[in-house]
Amino acid sequence: MPGFGLKPFGVRRPDDVEAFVVPASDGTALFLHDAIIVNGTSDATSGRPQAIRATAGATNRITGVVVGFENDGNPAAAIYRVASTLRTVRAIVHKAQRYAVVSAGTIAATDVSARGNLDHSTAGSAYTGLSGAVMNATEAATATFQLRIHRLISGPGLDIAAAGNVAEVSINIPVDSDDSAGV
């Protein structure tokens, strides 16, 4: 199954979605369900915090997950952010939010409650607008991994024991966690 990033299970509350500006200086395209992280500054025009795609891998924190884009007048890029363009994105930022994510390998039933990291080795799709991110096939009890596995998802076309299986996860090391540095 191809990756689709961190697909949210609904939105906990409408105020859990916030706007972030992705600066034109960022050379990475951004797609629906990509994880983002604030980059430590705000947009000079709107005052909104700036964000970029979160780096995959252990110890890399996540601010939220993209669920939409504000209209910038470019119909060709209505469903994703083209690299090196200024764009405002909407992202879910609640640290208890749950997501579905495809595994790059196979997540075993014994991996439930373990942790995993994002993997950006497959690009997002300009056609569907969806992220290509998956969860790395290496799971562990390591507290510094990005995602916490809550359960395997079964259903029509979803084999919980097959390669590319799907898990329900939450962000394990969010930016706003109690152990992150303050101002």
SS3 102: strand
The per-residue pLDDT for range 165-177, each reduced to its tens digit, is 999 999 998 987 6
pLDDT at 45 over 80: yes
Instruction: Find, among 4, 44, 54, 3, the residue nearest to 172 by Cα.
Output: 54
Do the Cβ atoms of 106 and 163 come closer than 8 Å? yes
- The DSSP letter of residue 23 is P
Whole-number mean pLDDT of the chain? 90
Q: How far is CA 93 from CA 6, 13, 101, in A?
A: 12, 10, 17
What the block records as the tokens of 147 is 């995602």
| Count of alpha carbons within 13 angstroms of residue 1, beta-carbon side | 22
Number of Cβ within 10 Å of residue 166's Cβ equals 25
Say which range, 45-49, 123-127, 156-160, 171-175, has the weakest mean pLDDT. Answer: 156-160
Question: What's the confidence (pLDDT) of residue 182?
Answer: 47
Beta bridge partners of 135: 103, 118
